[in-house]
Amino acid sequence: MAEARQKELMSLRAGWPSEGVRPPRLVSVALGEGTPFSVYQRQQRRWAERLGIQFEAIALPEHTGGETLKARLRALDSDPSVHGILLQHPLPPPLDFFDLVSGLSPEKDVDGVGSVNLGRLVAGRPLQVPAVARAVFSVLKHYRYSIPGRRVVVLGRSETVGLPTALLFLLRGEGGDATVTVAHSRTRELSQTTREAELVVSCAGHPGLLGRQAVRPGAAVVDVGVSTRADPKAPGGMTVVGDADHADLQGYASALTPVPGGIGPVTSVELMANVLRGWALGEGLGTLP
């Protein structure tokens, strides 16, 4: 699925002029070296290179202050050769991730989590949307899953994952028009709520949350959750799992995205789609589907 979306983006790129425009460029900023962020940055570089996007990883000292970080982000933001900026998070307090990314130009905020991008999504005019939320819709589109009128439960309400996903389902038009319930850790009778859905999108990060008791027969499940669990048989003693009990739902749910290998790789491609969207806007080439 990730390959299909990657191919689609590559053919879109091929249709755009390469002369007279700057090449697309993504800059990823992290605090500290040799942290898990370095691993993410290596993955980002790999995906960027696959789509012909220049990539630069910046590792600032771990204890960089808010003003210095803001100034660095401002400089990147005003550099016309930079089309996308990522700020690796969580950040150590008192640094405020939301505040910092909200200072970026909306088209360069390729995480799609700043105040303008969130506001545009709420207003039904999305620009940059968190890649994981886009990935959910890419997968549903790929499998020709019709969304309008569906009863959908989104499990999770974080500003970076659950909430933007729920808002996309609510958008007016072909890819949206769903009837959406957002559930979270304070939802009473959670299983009863999720059983009402034709489609459950689980973004809780809680392994085993969704088994037959919580899913109606024949419902579809998109498993966004990614957690690790001790597994003596797995290399390194850990295995990656989603929110759904995949063994329990096999042959019971009408569709179920795998973990790992489901939403995760598509999210990486959608992040690069956001960079290409920022690039196309920055270079005056139009918009990217």
Establish if 263 lies at the interface with ligand NAP (CB under 6 A).
Answer: yes
Specify the residue, 24 or 165, whose C-beta has the smaller distance to ligand NAP. 165
CB-hemisphere CA count at 13 Å for 228?
A: 8
By beta-carbon distance, which residue lies closest to ligand NAP? 205
Q: Judged by CB under 6 A, which of 6, 28, 41, 160 binds ligand NAP?
A: 160
Establish if 205 lies at the interface with ligand NAP (CB under 6 A).
Answer: yes
Specify the residue, 76 or 161, whose C-beta has the smaller distance to ligand NAP. 161
Of residues 217 through 236, those in contact with ligand NAP by CB under 6 A are: 224-227
Amino acid letter for position 51 = L
Establish if 105 lies at the interface with ligand NAP (CB under 6 A).
Answer: no
Establish if 54 lies at the interface with ligand NAP (CB under 6 A).
Answer: no
Establish if 186 lies at the interface with ligand NAP (CB under 6 A).
Answer: yes
DSSP 88-109: -S---TT--HHHHHTTS-TTTB
C-alpha angle with apex 23: 22 to 24, nearest 5 degrees?
115
Pairing of the two strands 238-241 and 227-230: antiparallel
Q: Judged by CB under 6 A, which of 100, 113, 133, 161 binds ligand NAP?
A: 161
Establish if 204 lies at the interface with ligand NAP (CB under 6 A).
Answer: yes
Specify the residue for token string 């790999």.
Answer: 46
What pairs with residue 56 in β-bridges? 27
Specify the residue, 15 or 90, whose C-beta has the smaller distance to ligand NAP. 90
Amino acid letter for position 258 = P
Interface segment toward ligand NAP; rule CB under 6 A; list 44-52, 84-92, 137-145, 150-158: 150-158
How many residues at the interface with ligand NAP, by CB under 6 A? 26
In 3D space, the residue among 274, 185, 267 whose CA is nearest the CA of residue 224 turns out to be 267
Question: Residues near 251 by Cβ (< 8 Å), separated by ≥ 6?
Answer: none
Cα end-to-end distance, the chain, whole Å: 17
**Applying CB under 6 A, which residues contact ligand NAP?**
132, 155-158, 160-162, 183-187, 190, 203-206, 209, 224-227, 263-264, 267
